[in-house]
């Protein structure tokens, strides 16, 4: 806690004044650009690696960057993630949703182990809210992972995006650069696009191309960030070589 208190004192002496000016500037005309889902991992600092600022993004964080599927919530038993989607995309009319996964994700490493039925047993889940959260809301990621593993990681996976007609194909780690848990993390990141599209209150916006869903993936080991390109059917590193092409894809398809 002392680190936090000392940090607040530094903030007061340095960036506070500038931030207050920005709050005033956007107060009457807020134009946030994205709802950003990511993991709670302390190494993930999305405003730093996207260089976004006050007023730019709504950020939602949980263990494993999950967006539970709507079928998990009958009879208005909702939870934080869909409420955040409504606040962002409906109340504030934000037009882009981004799900950002990452390598060496502790939640995903645990999800990988939860493929073992004994480890994922009901008794064990009762003892561990984290196991329960992952088993309940990330089981479809495991199903897709198993499908891919059965084909020795060579076949592409099919995901649904904005609408049932807008499916996309994904080759997971075709260059065989990442370990098995990181491949699961990439699948899990893409699976959330499908889960987001399951919410009825977003349907019209998604069908009318007023709302778009994207996936990013942060590699903790190298600091590199990948964008899932539906044109390239894979996660593509965002760097000097690919930037223009990716920008064009984003502008042509999603603006
Ligand atoms: Zn994580």
Q: Looking at residues 227-246, what average pLDDT do you find?
A: 97
In the reported structure, the alpha carbon of residue 211 is separated from the centroid of ligand 1 by a whole-number distance in angstroms of: 26
Query: Smallest Cα–Cα separation from 254: which of 223, 220, 231, 225?
Result: 231
Rg (CA), the chain: 19
- What's the DSSP call for residue 95? -
In the reported structure, the alpha carbon of residue 61 is separated from the centroid of ligand 1 by a whole-number distance in angstroms of: 10
pLDDT digits (tens, 9 = 90+) for 139-158: 999 999 999 999 989 899 99
Q: Is the pLDDT of residue 242 over 90?
A: yes
- Encoded tokens for 152: 């020795």
CB atoms near residue 88 (< 10 Å): 23
Q: Confidence band (pLDDT; 50, 70, 90) for 255? A: low
Q: Looking at residues 109-129, what average pLDDT do you find?
A: 93
In the reported structure, the alpha carbon of residue 24 is separated from the centroid of ligand 1 by a whole-number distance in angstroms of: 34
- Encoded tokens for 168: 């996309």
Spell out the residues 6+ positions from residue 229 whose beta carbon is closer than 8 angstroms to its own.
235, 236, 246, 249
CATH 3.40.1050.10 maps onto the chain at 31-254
pLDDT at 252: 78
pLDDT at 27: 86
Q: Report the top-level CATH class of 31-254.
A: alpha beta
Window from 25-39, 62-76, 160-174, 213-227 with minimum mean pLDDT: 62-76
Q: Confidence band (pLDDT; 50, 70, 90) for 10? A: very high
Residue located via tokens 């994207």: 214
Average pLDDT of the residues of the chain: 94
Residue 102 annotated as binding? yes
- Encoded tokens for 156: 């592409």
In the reported structure, the alpha carbon of residue 207 is separated from the centroid of ligand 1 by a whole-number distance in angstroms of: 31
In the reported structure, the alpha carbon of residue 220 is separated from the centroid of ligand 1 by a whole-number distance in angstroms of: 10
Q: Give, rounded to a whole angstrom, the gap between the first and last alpha carbons of the chain.
A: 43
Cβ distance 227 to 238 under 8 Å?
A: yes
Residue 41 annotated as binding? yes
């Amino acid at each position: 806690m002392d680190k936090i208190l000392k940090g607040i004192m530094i903030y007061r002496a340095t960036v506070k004044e500038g931030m207050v000016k920005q709050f005033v500037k956007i107060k009457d005309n807020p134009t946030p650009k994205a709802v950003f889902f990511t993991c709670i991992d302390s190494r993930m600092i999305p405003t730093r690696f996207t260089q976004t600022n006050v007023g730019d993004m709504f950020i939602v964080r949980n263990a494993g960057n999950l967006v539970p599927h709507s079928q998990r919530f009958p009879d208005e038993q909702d939870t934080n993630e869909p409420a955040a989607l409504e606040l962002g995309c409906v109340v504030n009319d934000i037009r882009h949703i981004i799900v950002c996964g990452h390598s060496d994700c502790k939640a995903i490493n645990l999800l990988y182990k939860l493929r073992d039925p004994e480890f994922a047993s009901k008794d064990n889940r009762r003892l561990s809210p984290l196991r329960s959260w992952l088993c309940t809301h990330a089981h479809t990621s495991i199903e897709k992972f198993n499908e891919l593993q059965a084909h020795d990681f060579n076949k592409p996976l099919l995901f649904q995006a904005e609408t049932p007609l807008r499916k996309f194909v994904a080759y997971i780690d075709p260059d065989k650069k990442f370990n098995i848990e990181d491949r699961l993390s990439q699948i899990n990141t893409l699976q959330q696009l499908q889960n987001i599209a399951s919410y009825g209150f977003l349907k019209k916006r998604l069908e009318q191309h007023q709302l778009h869903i994207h996936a990013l993936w942060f590699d903790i080991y190298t600091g590199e960030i990948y964008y899932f390109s539906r044109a390239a059917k894979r996660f593509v590193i965002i760097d000097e070589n690919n930037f223009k092409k990716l920008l064009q894809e984003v502008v042509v398809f999603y603006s």
